[in-house]
Amino acid sequence: MPALRHRFGRFGPFPALAAETAVAGVFTVVGRLAVLVHASVFVLVTADGWSPAT
pLDDT at site 53:
61
pLDDT at site 54:
53
**Contact between 18 and 11 (Cβ < 8 Å):** yes
**Contact between 12 and 18 (Cβ < 8 Å):** yes
Distances (CA, A) of 22 to 4, 18, 28, 32: 22, 6, 10, 15
**Contact between 28 and 22 (Cβ < 8 Å):** no
pLDDT digits (tens, 9 = 90+) for 4-54: 445 556 656 667 777 788 888 899 999 999 999 998 888 887 777 666 665
